[in-house]
Amino acid sequence: MALIKVENLSKCFRIYSSRRQKLAALFGMDSHCLQKWALNNISFSIEPGESVAIVGRNGSGKSTLLKLICQTLRPTEGEITVNGRIGALLELGIGFHEELSGRENVYISGQLLGMSRHEIDDRIEEIINFSELREYIDVQLKKYSSGMQMRLAFSVATAIRPEILIVDEALSVGDAYFQHKCFDRIKAFQAQGTSLLFVSHDPLAVKTLCDRAILIDQGIMLSDDHPAAILDYYNALIANTANNKISLNEGVRSGSGEAKLIAVEVFHHNEAAQVVLSGSPVKIIVSYKVLEKISDLTIGFLIKDRVGNEVFGSNTYLLQKTPPFIQGGQYQVVFELPDFRLAAGSYNISVALHSSYHHLSDNYDWWDHAATITVISEHVFAGVVRLDTQYCELI
């Protein structure tokens, strides 16, 4: 049985131009208003033990979806079925009162999450210890920083292992040390069978924590796939402008088309190669043409492992080089990597033509999975890259 089942879910917010207009609507009087559909006909389910990321641009409806699942909002249309205890960390401040102390807020927030006062009594010391806020636990919440509030909120939400853990982007305000601590607890819950519903703009966190991702844009569910594919699609989406086109036929490919990639090849010892030895020289040869007049051009590449983790990337802007971009021309550029020390495994290479130092300003052509390469290694080591290591003894 699915832990969460969302069927044909839609949510409409009514926006009134004045308080008088809103009051008239509350009493059933005809009152004109602007209708904003935050979600439109969303359907999916989450099985026990699954970890699912919700991905999308700001304003796409991600947080609204989580609030509907947590029942802090009611749907306009459709149904949500939840089978299991939910632990939720949504926007900072939900369930907290700034005039009360941290300790008092633990009890209020815990009860809102479904814990009894007795359960909170049993776990209050563990909550304080995990948050590392003992020195401030009896201080008013209004004197807490946003990071301190996040520590307290996460500690309460995860005091009891839930069947379903829902995490919005609140973790992003925490310091690096506590973020690692939170992710360790999330992974421990996952190992014990907790399902995770996770919203984040951090691609590494999505790929590390989740085995599935859902892409939402403008309230519409665009795709439900493994995280690497969804993040490729999302990357194309955020680079999209009014004139851009997104294609899913050859990996994910997007761009406005003023310049176009023709081919991307990997060479090893001056021969096209699909398999290379770790530590040997590699060349990435990019062929492209310039179809329209452009003001500048940057060519970049990004190497990712088989599950979509970014391993290494660079571009001509960072290398302080200017590739040719005369309208009507067809060109080749070569990126040389003389010591390709990646671990054994399969990697894919994405290539982009854009302006400035990143692809978000003018994205002419972004091609995910433009080439693939398999690395074999004579050395045994952990991780994704081999570093020179020397052993010394001090007596």
Residue entry with tokens 């401040």: 93
The answer to whether the beta carbons of residues 31 and 21 sit under 8 Å apart is yes
Q: Regarding the domain with residue range 253-376, which homologous superfamily does it belong to in the CATH classification? A: abc- transporter (atp binding component) like domain (2.70.50.60)
Which stretches in the chain have pLDDT values below 70? 24-31, 91-94, 170-174, 239-251, 358-361
- Residue 48 has phi, psi (to 5 degrees) of -55, 130
> Which pLDDT value is given to residue 240?
59
What's the number of CA atoms in the CB half-sphere (13 Å) around residue 337?
Answer: 23
Q: Pairing relation of β-strands 195-199 and 51-55?
A: parallel
Q: Confirm if 110 and 120 have CB atoms less than 8 A apart.
A: yes
Calculate helix-pair angle for 146-157, 176-191, nearest 10 degrees: 10
Calculate Rg over the CA atoms of the chain. 25
DSSP, collapsed to helix, strand or coil, labels residue 174 as coil
Rama region for 24: left / alpha / beta (φ>0; ψ in -120 to 50; rest) = alpha
Residues 6+ apart with CB under 8 A from 149: 92, 93, 96, 141
Examine domains 4-232 and 253-376 and report if their fold is the same.
Answer: no
pLDDT at 216: 94
What pLDDT digit, counting tens, does each position of 106-154 carry? 999 888 878 899 999 999 999 999 999 999 999 999 999 888 988 898 8
pTM summary value: 0.71
Contact yes or no for 278/376 (Cβ under 8 A): yes
Total residue length of the chain: 395
pLDDT at 242: 43
Smallest CA-to-CA distance from 369 within 227, 228, 272 is with: 228
CATH topology of domain 4-232: Rossmann fold (3.40.50)
Q: Give the side-chain half-sphere CA count within 13 A for 354.
A: 24
In the chain, where the domains are located: 4-232, 253-376
Residues 6+ apart with CB under 8 A from 91: 63, 168, 170
